[in-house]
Amino acid sequence: ILERAKTHHLPTYFISAKDKERREFDREVTALLEEKQVDLVLCIGYMRILSEEFVDHWYGRVVNVHPSLLPKYPGLMDLDVHQAVLDAGDQESGCTVHLIDQGVDSGPILIQKRIPVVPEETAESLKAKVQPLEGQAFIELIKRWPMEAIPQTEFAARQEASK
């Protein structure tokens, strides 16, 4: 992501987390984000748990993408989440962009992108189909921001009612 940003002459910044407590690191990130007057924080492949302080400060402006149709399979990552979809016999999968809250993959939903799961699907093939959807979802989010976020329980009920 950093290389693509540099290719397009977009400013990039790197803050090392090495030898830092989570809260200290998050404070440094917050200081930079505020200095640059950032109004939307995208967590893309961000494999760290954010501090409560960071989440509280940025709530409503910090989002994550999860490679499943939340509220299904929160907390699972990489091939594990796709294998869970297959093991459950789900007919569709996809990704969810959601606000980050104090839970794990529990924040209100902004966007979901869906794809069918075919009988010969593997965790690897499903991952390969879902990953491009994540980028599409973030692009849609940026174009439509700000947008309504729907609590996961309400979102799931709406999806069920529309079937």
Instruction: For residues 85 and 88, give the distance between their C-alpha atoms in angstroms, rounded to a whole number.
Output: 5
Is 66 one of the catalytic residues? yes
90 within 8 A of 157, measured Cβ to Cβ:
no
Whose CA is closest to 110, among 160, 161, 162, 40? 40
List b or e across 115-140, with b for residues whose CB sees 16 or more CB atoms inside 10 angstroms. Answer: bebeeebebeebbebbeebbeebbee
Whose CA is closest to 141, among 119, 108, 115, 163? 108
Catalytic residue, chosen from 8, 66, 82, 98, is 66
State which H helix or E strand residue 5 sits in: helix 2-7
67 within 8 A of 95, measured Cβ to Cβ:
yes
Catalytically active residues, by annotation: 66
